[in-house]
Homo-oligomer: A and B are copies of this chain.
């Protein structure tokens, strides 16, 4: 397949099927774009109703062309597409782009028509892009292919951009010139009938022209392949993705119980994070990150040194740096002294270094040199406001030079200068080799992404370790429950956990008050009792849980009371006994669980439990199988992490044990993939940081 994808991006010759002279039509726009941009290969316009076009002979079919054709760009009515695609197959054309719409996106007949295309592409091994797309672009000067009908010609650069919205591709080409980044290659994915985002990512991995990959996705169609390929590719090239449709989850979250929390957006998020893909919420953030990835060395750490000629912007940058979890570098005494010797007396030589409004180019040059030389600085954020003397171009020259000199330091800039800056820059024959933003918050967003990627690349990752488990016992319990036509009861679920070595509060099953008293002797008071039933999984709703039982008399009366209540309420059908459990005095409650997303497969979650689960929605998700990095991320993300730490006289939770619990759940699902849903709510953490699973549900 890959050799044919190469023909999609770098064809030696191409046919435009449906090329016309009708102004404004797609077939005409395509011809214009391909020729205007200066395509380096041979062009064959194809049309049954034309003889010549723009000086080219126009045969009726690709079959009438003698020479080899690498790529067909097809813009004919939907009904004819299958026929011309078949001809492409017969002609042994390796790649095809179907611009035409009227397929799966219109439903009904369109779905059937699209399936035909897939079958033809499979039969003839055609790398098929689309249908219903904007086309393909390759800015390599040896190719110069603009096989799209976007009105503007693309700016060249190192970005590979794959987008599921064709119109957006056009919008992006429009705004790119002002962003200081450009495209190496672009595809509009369209309906992804055959080639999918993952195939393009896979191809770009070894495409030297593509330095980073940007994605705009509305769905992820092949999760397993995506996870494998993206995880591999992010080790060498950054992938920045927008996955739109976040608010779908927003709506679901409102209804929220554990199951609903794992809406598909959370799943997409889990997938992208696990793969090391940087997910952006919006286009502005995506382009900021793209600028940084295309022009910056990855930082060795996150200590930022700021140089500014405007104190206010220095403070704003500081606020953002702290907010985004980066740190303000503590400059060495040596650096400060050297700054003091070089700068005007009113300058501030602590970080942020304020070179003051009157700073000359020489002041900037000296300050950037000193700050970059400081071993406590990983990143330089250079702020320049045009206040007195227009030094912007000279400062770009300095920053370009410093980037060459300080290869292991990261440099970004914030300029608030006159509007014609970019024009003057290009007049001066200069290109900014560092990203230049208008606002500090933009620069800091980019820096945060650089640091995130740098940390990702440094992290070791391994699969979840296999854990010792009594799989047979668990299998037997599942089989028993299955045979009786119900999911495992509370007791059975706890027994399954026990078989997998997951630490629970002490528990046992009693058939009656007498048995409960015997169990109580070995467990000790205070106790909790819980209904164990094949029919009732939400015990609390039927008053099936009693806490705080302090002695035998109370135990007997509560067990008997429970049975009486259930009998009265006609809920004894499926009664299996009473779980007698040690009562844990917890200072914090968490929740863990697994559920199955129809599209993404098994998801594991961990977060704040109790009443907080709904109100705070502090829950992290990862896809199974779980890696060691995933397990750490589940526990170390957001406010969950803070609540697991030492707090007000409570020791930090035993993280090793928590990770181990996650690994064991991972193993359990691997062993029993038929599990649809598993809830551990709550996992209690006591004052000493010990962990106890107290209740569970498996279905």
Contact = CB atoms under 8 A, between A and B. Distances in A.
B101 A247 contact: no
Contacts of A52: none
Contacts of A167: 309-313, 357, 385, 387
Nearest to A548: B548
A632 to B, nearest CB: 18
A244 B164 CA distance: 40
A517 interface: no
A642 B618 CA distance: 13
Contacts of A282: 316, 320, 439-441
A587 B616 contact: no
B416 A386 contact: no
Interface in A239-286: 242, 244-247, 250-251, 281-284
Given A24-B389, A164-B312, A439-B282, A615 B587 contact: no
Given A170-B385, A218-B315, A439 B250 contact: no
A104 to B, nearest CB: 13
A427 interface: no
Contact of A439 (B150, B284, B612): B284
A120 B645 CA distance: 58
Interface stretch (A54-62, A363-371, A504-512, A647-655): A647-655
Interface residues on A, range: 35 or more
Interface string A316-329: 10111111000000
A574 interface: no
Contacts of A318: 247
A387 B615 contact: no
A341 interface: no
A178 B357 contact: no
Given A151-B390, A284-B439, A612-B612, 11 more contacts: A149-B388, A165-B311, A167-B312, A170-B416, A175-B416, A175-B438, A245-B315, A246-B322, A251-B322, A283-B441, A614-B642
Interface of A: 24, 29, 101, 106, 149-152, 163-168, 170-172, 174-175, 177-178, 216, 218, 242, 244-247, 250-251, 281-284, 309-313, 315-316, 318-323, 346, 357, 385-390, 416-419, 438-442, 540-541, 548, 550, 587-588, 611-612, 614-616, 618, 639, 642-643, 645, 647-650
A218 to B, nearest CB: 7
**Which residue among A282, A548, A618 has the maximum number of chain B CB atoms within 10 Å of its CB?**
A282
Nearest to A320: B282
A614 B284 CA distance: 33
19 contacts: A150-B387, A165-B310, A165-B312, A167-B357, A170-B385, A170-B387, A170-B416, A171-B386, A171-B387, A174-B419, A242-B316, A244-B312, A244-B316, A245-B315, A588-B611, A611-B643, A611-B650, A614-B648, A616-B616
Nearest to A176: B419
